[in-house]
Amino acid sequence: MHLGVFAFFENPMNDVAVAIKDQIELIRYAESLGMQEAWLSEHHFNPYSVAGPIMPLMGYALAATRTMTIGSAAVLLPYHAPLHVAEAMSTLDILSDGRVAFGIAKGAFPLDNRHFKADPETNDAVMREAMQVIDRLLTEGSVTHRGTYYDITDATLVPKPVRPIPRFLATFGSEASIVYAAQNDMGLLLSQTADKATIQNAIATYKTHSGGKKPVVNLLRMLYIKAGDMAAMNGGGEAAARFASAMRGVKSGTFSPLRESAFDAFPMSKCGIVGSPERCRALMEDFRDLGVDGIMLRPAGKNLEENKAMLNAIKDAAKGL
């Protein structure tokens, strides 16, 4: 099992420029510690998670690193044209010599749907059709597609990627999403609040619908590691509450029940890598034994230096995993 960073581009100091630059610096630091991946979020119209333009952010992160895989967690496909996404991913893959991973999601924030003129009732279907188009553009020659949401005639993608780009579905673990990922040979990006039962069910469901093939499973997790369990649990609880409050403050509408749980401080802290180094290692061992391949960590400190210290501490705690 390997470790990486979940780059949420948090803005606790209400300074967008600092938030973006600090996140890139944290990715660089994670690479210097030997971490293998960084997964970047996409959020729009959000003063707390300032990660709207995901393609430029991925490009900069790739240029700022040398060995890390940089993934999208995730491209919200209903808000993007499939042709643009395919071109961007292919170009990033070439520029980085194959260090791109492509995670997708359907989007959930009502404000995003309003401004991008997307319908939450059809976003899942739009995402699936967009992904079908993108897959064909990346792997075939001339593509003609007649669908419900997209109509493309004789489009040939230039450039093509240097190798097959790994594809992932960001999900809270619903059965329908896991079945879709299994049937399309996609890895899983499981949410920060996916508990052990959800992880087990996701892997079992995937194997049932993929002819027994196990999925590549990456967990997105909050990280709060301190010398003592009590201090870490208290600090982690406070950090989860700050995060949940900030994200709920920009929802501007009604979430689905699964999305509501994603911004609930208690399960976020409970499911996170929170505690002393010894406890954090035990939690990671449990996830490894469930079949998790990677844990993408979102350090929940109040500033860059605190987050660097947490990454350094978890690196030491994870030795030999």
255 — pLDDT class (breaks 50, 70, 90): low
State yes or no: pLDDT of 258 exceeds 60: no
251 — pLDDT class (breaks 50, 70, 90): low
Q: What is the pLDDT of residues 144-158, one digit of tens each?
A: 999 999 999 999 999
**Number of other CB atoms surrounding residue 19 within 10 Å:** 21
Instruction: Between 267 and 135, name the one with better pLDDT.
Output: 135
Q: What is the pLDDT of residues 27-38, one digit of tens each?
A: 999 999 999 999
Helix axes 82-95, 123-139, angle to 10 degrees: 50
pTM exceeding the 0.85 threshold for the entire prediction: yes
Residues in the chain: 321
Average pLDDT over residues 158-180: 97
Q: Could you give all domains of the chain from N- to C-terminal order, each with its CATH number?
A: 2-317 (3.20.20.30)
